[in-house]
Amino acid sequence: MLTVCRRILLAAFCLLLLSVCPAPPALAQESPYFVAYDHYLEEPGNLEIEYFSTFGTQRGGNDFHAFWAEFEYGATAWWTTELYLDGQTTFDDSTIFTGLRWENRFRVLKREHFINPVFYVEYENKSGADKILKEGEGHDVESDFLVSNAETGREHIHEIELKLILSSTFKGWNFTENTLAAKNLSNSPWEFGYALGASRPLALKASPKRCTLCPQNFVAGAEMYGGLGDRHSFGLHDTSHYLAPVLAWNLPSGWTLRISPGFGLNNNSHRFLMRWGVSREINGFGSMVSRLFGGRK
Amino acid sequence: MKAISAALGVCASLLAVSVLLAQSRNSNKPSVDAAPKYDPAIIYAELQKAPEKARNRANPLQNDPDAVAAGAILFEQHCAECHGNSAEGSRKAPSLRVPEVQSAPSGALFWLLTNGVVRKGMPVWSKLPEPQRWQLVRYVKSLGVPTPAAESPTAKP
């Protein structure tokens, strides 16, 4: 009962924050990806508050529901900073808070090119019970999740994660490729991973009328991600890989809904991952905070 | 519990840093209300940097009867926050109803919208599909430069 309450509390806190915030919402033109990143950063001064869930099946163990909140802030037009708070429920086990992440993305080039690089650096302070599967890395496999929360919750992980995001937009399509290198700071080898994504709005021209269900508000695509081993054994053996269709619905009210059923591609992967999320972009959050403390309008 | 405390600590630190940054940015400038954060001339000069090929591109939606209406909605959703509801400019971004913008070729406006002025705070808008960027250009060009008579009531404090 207590575990369910914790989960409900986190979701309720995020939704409350999203709905009562007095700043004007912006129509988010969000990408539909859950794991892959494209080269578009948060608009300067805007804050995006997001809540995501992943339900995963587990062979030989208990299914799980991992969830996380994201606070994504556009510090400048070339720098976005983001804080994550993660948790998970393993059915017939427990619900626990699994840690936090601080992520930064930097746009490298001033102008738009055919391929646009973005540099990503993240610090993770999490427990071994983390199950959000926000990336595939190293030799992570399904059987890692068989250990109980009581045991994995005691393991503390401090990790630095670097990504090179290469993204292109061509005739309405976005194609992105992310290469990942992660280092557990407790003397573990560098681990590697990848994510690929492609997506496109259902319509390229905007409607001359305000509408919620117009095709241009929907962005559909697919992403694929997985591990590439580590420094000592680079490659695809003993790694997990997923393919997931993705869909985002950008509502005119500033909300974005995302959904993605994911499918494991080999025996090391979870058979099925169901992801969904809700987010809201708040315009001018930086100015609002500044005004609260006496800044100018 | 320790991790939750750490998370709250990080949240508080981030908030404090953003407030301090905002305050320091404000305190470095004279306290004149609505003083812009930018030099409009520098932003307008970016239009001149559009390559010849981009400047010469014609708007494929020039004769689309819906382009201005669609562009107006897009402007309200994505641009008004910084450029003002009527594109008159604000402390964050310059007016688009000035001769520098209105007399610029559609291709140059499209190029600027696509590439942004990232180091000066304007993000790239290539995430809007090409037809939507052309719709925005049509709308911006339809605004024109306000006449002095129409400008005077709002110009007075």
- In chain B, the domains with their CATH numbers are 39-146 (1.10.760.10)
Q: Give the closest-approach CA distance of B99 to chain A in angstroms.
A: 25
Q: Do A290 and B19 touch (CB under 8 A)?
A: yes
| Domain span holding position A57 | 2-292
Collect all residues of chain B within an 8 Å Cβ-Cβ radius of residue A27: 77-78
Q: Give the closest-approach CA distance of A266 to chain B in angstroms.
A: 34
Residue recorded with tokens 């699994």 = A98
Q: Do B3 and A99 touch (CB under 8 A)?
A: yes
What are the backbone dihedrals phi and psi of residue B64, each rounded to the nearest 5 degrees, phi first?
-80, 120
Q: Do A172 and B114 touch (CB under 8 A)?
A: no
- DSSP structure string for A27-64: -------SS---SPPPPTT-EEEEEEEEEE--TTS--E
Give the one of A125, A206, A286 whose C-beta lies nearest to B18's C-beta. Answer: A286
- Position A225 scores a pLDDT of 98
Cα separation, A225 vs A194, in Å, equals 6
Collect all residues of chain B within an 8 Å Cβ-Cβ radius of residue A110: 115, 118-119
Contact by Cβ (8 Å): A219, A199: yes
Residue A59 domain flag: yes
- pLDDT band of residue B11 (cuts 50, 70, 90) is low
Contact by Cβ (8 Å): A219, A32: yes
Collect all residues of chain A within an 8 Å Cβ-Cβ radius of residue B18: 73, 286, 289
B23 vs B66: which has the higher pLDDT: B66
Cα separation, A274 vs A57, in Å, equals 9
Decide: residue A195, CB within 10 A, 0-12 exposed, 13-18 middle, 19+ buried: buried
Contact by Cβ (8 Å): A98, A88: yes
Strand runs labelled E in chain A: 47-56, 64-76, 79-90, 94-107, 116-127, 156-170, 173-184, 191-201, 218-230, 241-250, 255-264, 272-282
The angle subtended at Cα A242 by Cα A236 and Cα A247, nearest 5°, is: 150
Nearest to A161 by CA among A107, A120, A117: A120
What are the backbone dihedrals phi and psi of residue A186, each rounded to the nearest 5 degrees, phi first?
-95, 55
Residue A297 domain flag: no
- Tens of pLDDT, residue by residue, chain A (297 residues): 445 555 555 555 555 555 445 445 556 678 999 999 999 999 999 999 999 999 999 999 999 999 999 999 999 999 999 999 999 999 999 999 999 999 999 999 999 999 999 999 999 999 999 999 999 999 999 999 999 999 999 999 999 999 999 999 999 999 999 999 999 998 899 999 999 999 999 999 999 999 999 999 999 999 999 999 999 999 999 999 999 999 999 998 889 999 999 999 999 999 999 999 999 998 888 888 887 887 655
Cα separation, A139 vs A292, in Å, equals 47
User: CATH number for the domain including A146?
Assistant: 2.40.160.40
Residue recorded with tokens 């950063």 = A41
The interface predicted TM-score (ipTM) is 0.85
- Position A284 scores a pLDDT of 83
Contact by Cβ (8 Å): B118, B124: yes
Residue B20 has pLDDT above 50, yes or no: no
Residue recorded with tokens 């681990």 = A191
- pLDDT band of residue B32 (cuts 50, 70, 90) is very low
Contact by Cβ (8 Å): A256, A278: yes
Query: Which residues are within 8 A (CB) of A252 and not within 5 positions of it... i.e. 6 or more apart?
Result: A27, A210, A211, A212, A217, B77
Cα separation, A264 vs A245, in Å, equals 12
Give the one of B15, B115, B135 whose C-beta lies nearest to A112's C-beta. Answer: B115
Contact by Cβ (8 Å): A284, A23: yes
Q: Give the closest-approach CA distance of B90 to chain A in angstroms.
A: 10
Contact by Cβ (8 Å): A254, A26: yes
State percent of chain B over pLDDT 90: 57
pLDDT 10s digits, B105-115: 999 999 999 99
Going by their DSSP bridges, the two strands A47-56 and A272-282 should be labelled as antiparallel
Going by their DSSP bridges, the two strands A173-184 and A94-107 should be labelled as unpaired
Cα separation, A198 vs A167, in Å, equals 10
Q: Which residue of B has its CA nearest to A110?
A: B118
Collect all residues of chain A within an 8 Å Cβ-Cβ radius of residue B77: 26-27, 252
Q: Do A77 and B73 touch (CB under 8 A)?
A: no
Q: Which residue of B has its CA nearest to A254?
A: B77
Q: Do A205 and B132 touch (CB under 8 A)?
A: yes
pLDDT 10s digits, B50-62: 999 999 999 999 9
Collect all residues of chain B within an 8 Å Cβ-Cβ radius of residue A77: 116-124
How many other C-beta atoms can be found within 10 angstroms of the C-beta atom of residue A95? 22
First-residue to last-residue Cα distance in chain A: 47
State the amino acid at position A22 in one-letter form.
Answer: P
- Quickly list H helices, chain B: 2-27, 40-45, 52-55, 67-78, 80-83, 99-102, 106-115, 130-143, 148-155
Residue A89 domain flag: yes
Q: Which two tokens stand for residue A69?
A: 């909140």
The angle subtended at Cα A78 by Cα A75 and Cα A83, nearest 5°, is: 45
Burial A165-180 (b: 16+ CB within 10 A, else e): bbbbbeebebbbbbeb
- Position A263 scores a pLDDT of 98
Give the one of B19, B119, B126 whose C-beta lies nearest to A289's C-beta. Answer: B19
Q: Do B114 and A41 touch (CB under 8 A)?
A: no
Q: Do B127 and A102 touch (CB under 8 A)?
A: no
How many structural domains compose chain A? 1
Q: Do A208 and B11 touch (CB under 8 A)?
A: no
